Structure 1
Amino acid sequence: MQQHLTIFDPFDEMRFGHHICFSCGTTITQDQQTPVFPAWLMEKYGFGQELLRMLDQSIIAYQDLKIPCCHQCQTQVLDPLEEKVRQALSQGVTGLRGLEEKVLFQWLGKMFYGTLVTELIKEQNPLVRPEYAVSEQPKMLLKFQSFFRVLQSIRVPIEFSDFLPCSLFIIDVDASAEPLRFEFRDELSTMMFSVRIDNALVVCCLLDNGMIKQSLRRVWDIIEPRQLQPIQAAEFSARVFYAAYLLNVVPDYLLRPVKPQDDHLVMDTLIDDVTNVIFNPWQHTSYAKLLATVWAKWGITQEDILRDPAEPLSMLFSPEGEFIEFPKIPGEQAGN
């Protein structure tokens, strides 16, 4: 196979380390690194020195979170990707929505994978004992291996036959009452990643072949054209995160045989066990617990959310199913 069409699979023999390029597997020197969160983004929003807690409970500054990357992958792959996203972001929500979804998936995927690789490299240190070691969970590793196969599209020209590996939502948030801001949240086990940049909130399940977006289609069709209040955006994000928690299947990805004249790979997908229920049942109590964590800044508790156990509190829709233009936040004085 042509060299530029060769897929790298670090999970095959758990090849993770400071001397292995995360993208192509080339052996490199320890000083060849790239920041997990783009330097231009950290500079613009000033969060480089803010702290992030890792799975082993260690604390690291965003700017110190780096992964091994060879010069070629940096200059030929990552730099052009960052430039595309940077230009799109300069036009806000409209720019992001105009960006090819595959490009946005790759950009989010690189940041998600960067935090994962950091965890895997740390776990190789015998003195590090995280409570839930990723490398000791075979099911999780298979999930990450599937994800990395589609993330190789960042470097190798890959055409996804009739699917996008992720569910991607770009939400317009009314940020007029809030300062210039950056917020990020990820969840390794459910492959969830969200990033808030000014008035754009991007929420993504990175490995579901769009099944979550399909299941939330009715709600998303109402929300997509509107500008949401921050509390509403937080609620929609919680719905997506909870749907990812309920997702019960892991897509598998297969490459079609390569012919000598091919200049790209074609990837197909399948769900391994069609007898599986795609989503586990929705439980109001579990959802309310998750929603309470994102609504904590507004002083809303799980008890508030479940005052009516059959109809959890919503800032998006009235009990009759109508979209709420101006949600009234419990406990706030009228006119505030």
Structure 2
Amino acid sequence: MIIFAPMAEQIYYPFQSFKASKKLCFLTGKPLNSSEEQIHVFPQWLMSRYKLEDQPFKLLDESIQTYKDLKLPCSAEANELYVEPLERDIEAAFTIGYEAVKELDELRLFQWAAKWLHGIIFNELQAAMRQQNAEGEEFSVSQSILQRFTNLHVMLQTLSLPIKFDEFKPYSLFLFKVNNLENEFGYRDEVSTVTFALRINDFGLIINLQDNGTIGRYLQETYDKIKDRTLHPIQFEEFSARAFYAAYLFNRLPNYDIMPVGDDIFIEANQLRGNSTKPLFDEWQVRTYGQVLESFWKKWGYLLLEIIKDPDNPVSHLFDADGNFIPADSIDLGL
């Protein structure tokens, strides 16, 4: 839940009473002058580089769109002032690769991933509304999910408003150098946990956008062992599986207070533990983790029973039986 002071009206809340309309700018909430005022969810430079425009994209309702079909309503002004400069920063760094991405301000990566995931969320909800309306049902969605989406959208507005995070980061971010195939585009997201992974060029990036850094701390020991190594793609996917599964196990919904101070708007994170003595993460289940890993390793043909043949030591390409890192060039598997 977000608690906000009366002076913060300039923040746009599209998910309150579900006002996420195609007639309002996704970022500012201002009415659009034309239905042509739209941007692609997947930026044009990325779609062109990886030939994604006409590739199929399946939504949660099982309907099929193409990558270029997924769009966000965006005013020409917001696009020029906020979105395009962000895309230029990201495109420049992503074109160079890992070393340039490493030098990017993390907030820019967060904003870019948040814009992308918000675009997916917007299109998923529009599709769900169409489906439920066609079936004569009133549109409904979990309040906890809407709260998570609201939190994310408020923080996305750091792009356009003087919003500052008060001594916390709302996200966990993991960046690796990866031996990817040339022109490979590896992407996945989990909307319900607002988790995002991208593997292109010579790097891989994973962000949970709404955990206040908790998943980063949960996986810190593992990340510290491998963050300065070059990974084989199967190793990146293994760490991705751990991060996505950790996001699933994370059982708190972060709450925030929003306070205007002078010309700025400060977001303060409330304590995650609250009054609960329950651990922040549910218990790690090897079989469930194995199912996640099976999905992430689909390219290499691994099956669940193979992964968890020894339940105490599921298959790993990151670490050997003694817990030592396995060098990427020693892995005899295709990229």
Question: How many Å apart are 1:193 and its aligned residue?
Answer: 0.8
Q: 1:34·1:69 contact (CA, 8 Å) conserved in 2?
A: yes
| Structure 2 Cα separation of the partners of residues 218 and 302 of structure 1 | 25
Secondary structure of the structure 1 residue equivalent to 2:312: coil
Secondary structure of the structure 1 residue equivalent to 2:183: coil
Alignment pair present for 1:224 and 2:227: yes
Alignment pair present for 1:142 and 2:147: yes
Alignment pair present for 1:280 and 2:282: yes
Residues 26-56 of structure 1: CA distance to partner in whole angstroms, max 9, x if unpaired? 1112211110011111111211111100111
| Structure 2 Cα separation of the partners of residues 68 and 166 of structure 1 | 25
Which residue of the other structure, out of 191, 207, 216, is the alignment partner of 1:188?
191
| Structure 1 Cα separation of the partners of residues 253 and 228 of structure 2 | 30
**1:157 is aligned with what amino acid?**
P
Gap regions ≥5 residues in structure 1: none
* Structure with more contact order per residue of length (Cα contacts < 8 Å, sep ≥ 6): 2
Q: CA RMSD in A?
A: 2.3
Q: 1:210 maps to which residue?
A: 213
Secondary structure of the structure 1 residue equivalent to 2:267: strand
| Structure 1 Cα separation of the partners of residues 117 and 185 of structure 2 | 16
| Structure 2 Cα separation of the partners of residues 328 and 124 of structure 1 | 46
Secondary structure of the structure 1 residue equivalent to 2:57: strand
| Structure 1 Cα separation of the partners of residues 29 and 250 of structure 2 | 31
Q: 2:95·2:201 contact (CA, 8 Å) conserved in 1?
A: no
Gap regions ≥5 residues in structure 2: none
Question: How many Å apart are 1:12 and its aligned residue?
Answer: 1.5
Secondary structure of the structure 1 residue equivalent to 2:251: coil
| Structure 2 Cα separation of the partners of residues 135 and 109 of structure 1 | 23
Q: 2:177 maps to which residue?
A: 172
Instruction: Show the 5 A alignment for 1:1-336.
Output: 6-28=10-32, 29-125=34-130, 126-128=132-134, 135-175=140-180, 178-259=181-262, 262=263, 264-271=264-271, 273-274=273-274, 275=276, 276-326=278-328, 328=331
**2:243 is aligned with what amino acid?**
V
Pairs aligned (count): 324
Ranges of 4+ aligned residues in structure 1 off by more than 4 Å: 126-129, 326-329
Q: 1:149·1:253 contact (CA, 8 Å) conserved in 2?
A: no
Q: 2:291·2:304 contact (CA, 8 Å) conserved in 1?
A: yes
Distance 1:257 1:155, change over 3 A: closer
Q: 1:120·1:135 contact (CA, 8 Å) conserved in 2?
A: no
Moved more, 98-107 or 269-278: 269-278
- Percent of residue pairs identical: 35
